[in-house]
Chain A
Amino acid sequence: MSFRDLARSSDPESRRSFLRGLAASCLGLASYPLIASPALAAARDLAAFGARSPAPTATARSVIYLYMSGGMSHLDTFDLKPGAETQGPTLPLKTAVDDLFISSQFENLAGLMDRVAVINGMFSSQGAHLQGRYKLHTGYDLRGTIAHPSLGAWLQKLGGRLNPNLPAHVAINPELHTASAGFFPSEYAPLPIGDPEQGLAHAHRPESVSDAAYQRRLARLARMNAAFREKYDVTRVRDYDEMYAQAVKLMASRDLAAFDLGAEDEDLRDAYGRNQFGQGCLLARRLVEHDVRFVEVVMGGWDTHDENFDRMEDLCPVLDRGLAALLADLEARGLLEDTLVVLATEFGRSPEIKSERNGRDHHPKAFSCLLAGGGVKGGVRWGRTCERGIDVVENRVTVPDFNATIAQALGLPLDEVIHSASGRPFTVADKGQPVSGLFA
């Protein structure tokens, strides 16, 4: 019996569909257990209801990591070069910060740029999508021999979880090589949410099943599983049990409401934008309010080899609305001071405009990312590219440096070494150094 069979053989009624729903939205059975372990097994988690001490003083408790998949053009978003022949038709817009101009597509963000640090000096060593995405998420190069954990998994590992009922780490609209547990046990994998509107589909007990009947079913399942476990006592089976136990706990918890966008005002939902990204941002805010520590929201479509400028007109307003609403909403609730909002992408796009396609190609040696809240200074630009946006000429920030900056804000020990099963040493941001100038 394979685990796939195990999943299939489950009772078709009732809450098990919840588990299958989760599995279905997942990228493959290898990353099966989706809800992190409640066992509080790690020493840090054990101490959760006692005391523990992180390394640096954290300025952020949680991260909302907005990932622009495909490679967001820096010249057409946050690193404009008005007058340069590489600029193309994109127009600059004045912002709340003197001397800071962003694309005119960002009408709502412009007024909030005094809350945002714009990092124009980003540099990556990886110019292909999967490799670049992997590098951004893990800080390491993609290799055949090891799977590195992504930042959210590191946060859970080194910082522990805050809310024992909820996963520490959630990925909304995930793609291949976005958030993952890497070589950490599967309890560090993010809970994937395929559609923010659906939240946790199937998480409610159907009316037709009484609580008593439900408890009987659980007991029966436990007996069945015990026999199976006896025969195949391997980690994955225990992981699966773990996930089941966690799911049951979550279903009973009032924290389940965190996943329900229906609890929000219609106006507020509109403000975020009625699309996967906007609603994902809103869901991220709800999860962070419930002390989920790391929420990634992926927005695809940025790979603008063709018709870059037309496509910017579709993409930027979605980003503008979702991010602006998120920043304003977090701030009004007093959450922005403790929540680090990150806007990241695998690379920028070539300043040279490919005239036959009116597009831009991959450009890892200079691009832009944003940080806001969580103790990071607003209204600053860090790093500078040359007049045409080709090279970083001042304050280069490598991907490991960027990740180290995020880890620093979270108070994670940058030098704590975790060994993979094969005994190789790894740290949260490889050899990256945090950008100290970004902290208020």
Chain B
Amino acid sequence: MRPVHPFAAFLLLVAAPLVAQEKVDFARDVQPILSRSCYECHGNPATDLKGPSKRPKGNLRLDGKSYMLERHGEAVLTAGKPASSLLYELIALPKGDPDLMPPEGGPLKADEQALIRRWIEEGADFGAWEGNKPGAGQSPVPAAAPAPVTSSRSRLYEELGRGLEPLPADRLAAAAGGIALIEAVAQGSGLYRVAFSAHEAEVDDAAVKRLATLGDRIVELRLGRSRVTDKALALIAGMERLARLDLRETAVGDAGLAKLAGAKELRYLNLFGTKVSDAGLPLLVELPRLESVYLWRTAVSEDAVAVLRKRLPKLSVVTAPRLPANDEEEPAPRRRRQAN
């Protein structure tokens, strides 16, 4: 043993009994360590465990007192004896040992190991803590939010909306005019999508004018089956971040399309059932980011579509559907009694 500095010896004498007096409290001191470092593999299969098989590793759960005490096999805990408690043995192994727990991310910090050791030495007392119990099954705590899943649409809106704060509710309400449904594209986003479900018949150019007060905040605008005219498209062209525009079954025609030129973020343009004709198609070239355009039930000819496809080979130009041929009739599905 190394000689101890007299002052340190004094400290040991005085301080040690004080420290020893403060008994380790499982719920306060130990459980948070297990929760953080072990539950991912030794927790409640319903809430904690990651991965597809969702079974506690080594068939050991550490999220409940009874799981730790009443387990078949080698003792996980032996009160007063850290050396014959797997729980301590395996966390105290040297780094690199194949049996070290947790297996990844290195051993627990030295003071955490010491704390667990002391807790076992003091009798492995759980206090009032019981944790989860067999039979009680799933913990009532719902799973944490899953990692965010992105889509090309979410990535686009994130980019377009960077730095924009949500607009105040009164401004949105004024723009909605009681007939528009305005929603943020995601929680906390300053970009909006707008539709007029059930109120299409009331939507005219004036309604679009009200919306235009939100200016460059609108990324999706659905005006299908409404009474908007070519005139409104000048206002729409001013919506700088507009990515998706649905004009299906409106009176919009080539003159309107001409006004849209320069809508530089537009990706989706639905002209199904509009008055657009061959004369309007070349105008689509002015929409630099356009990805898909819908032209079924317009006056546009097949030839004009062929020319457009050639000119913009990446653009998806959608016309009449190829439907199943109507040559035969098939019987309705036979139904039989189902065996359970």
Contacts and interface: CB of A to CB of B under 8 A. Distances in A.
Contact of A334 (B146, B178, B184, B270): B270
B150 interface: yes
Interface in B294-340: 294, 296, 318-324, 326, 329-336, 338-340
Interface stretch (B35-43, B84-92, B195-203): B195-203
Size class of A's contact patch?
Answer: 35 or more
B333 A129 contact: no
A87 interface: no
A187 interface: no
Contacts of A162: 181, 195, 197
Interface stretch (B59-67, B68-76, B93-101, B169-177): B169-177
A301 B294 contact: no
A76 to B, nearest CB: 14
Given A51-B184, A53-B186, A439 B151 contact: yes
B278 interface: no
B157 A57 contact: yes
Interface stretch (A4-12, A77-85, A211-219, A321-329): A321-329
A237 interface: no
B195 A291 contact: yes
Interface string B19-58: 0000000000000000000000000001100001000000
Interface in A243-263: 253-255
B183 A49 contact: no
B180 interface: yes
A57 B197 contact: no
Nearest to B145: A415
Contacts of A337: 268, 292
B3 interface: no
A411 interface: yes
B177 to A, nearest CB: 9
B185 interface: yes
Contacts of B136: none
Contact of B322 (A291, A305, A328, A434): A328
Contacts of A318: 330, 332-333
Contacts of B329: 274
Most chain A CB inside 10 Å of its own CB: which residue of B144, B153, B294, B296: B153
Interface in B179-226: 179-189, 192, 195, 197-198, 201
Given A108-B324, A253-B198, A59 B153 contact: yes
B248 interface: yes
Contacts of A58: 185
B340 A277 contact: no
Interface string B114-139: 00000000000000000000000000
A271 B336 CA distance: 26
Contacts of A295: none
Contacts of B184: 51-54
Contact of A333 (B47, B152, B182, B296): B296
Contacts of A391: none
B13 interface: no
Contacts of B339: 303, 305
A425 interface: yes
B331 A314 contact: yes
Contact of A275 (B189, B270, B294, B332): B332
Nearest to B270: A334
A324 B324 contact: yes
B148 A333 contact: no
A273 interface: yes
Nearest to A324: B324
A50 B176 contact: yes
Contact of A414 (B46, B146, B334): B146
B319 A433 contact: no
A142 interface: no
A307 to B, nearest CB: 10
Nearest to A267: B326
A137 to B, nearest CB: 16
A267 B166 CA distance: 48
Interface in B258-308: 268, 270, 272, 292, 294, 296
Nearest to B186: A57
Contacts of A413: 187
B140 to A, nearest CB: 6
Nearest to A362: B339
Given A328-B323, A415-B143, A275 B333 contact: yes
Contacts of A301: 333-336
A66 B150 CA distance: 26
Interface in A161-216: 162-166
Given A320-B324, A415-B143, A50 B169 contact: yes
B6 interface: no
B179 to A, nearest CB: 7
A274 B330 CA distance: 8
Contacts of B179: 49
Contact of A57 (B153, B173, B176): B153
A57 B151 contact: yes
A289 to B, nearest CB: 8
A112 B336 CA distance: 30
B178 A49 contact: yes
Contacts of B150: 436, 439
A52 B47 CA distance: 29
Contacts of A331: 318, 321
Given A276-B332, A337-B268, 13 more contacts: A51-B176, A53-B186, A111-B322, A163-B197, A163-B198, A267-B323, A275-B331, A328-B323, A331-B318, A333-B294, A334-B292, A337-B292, A396-B52
23 contacts: A49-B178, A50-B182, A59-B151, A69-B338, A108-B324, A164-B197, A254-B201, A267-B323, A271-B324, A275-B333, A290-B197, A290-B198, A291-B197, A291-B198, A301-B333, A303-B339, A305-B339, A324-B323, A334-B268, A408-B149, A415-B145, A431-B47, A431-B143
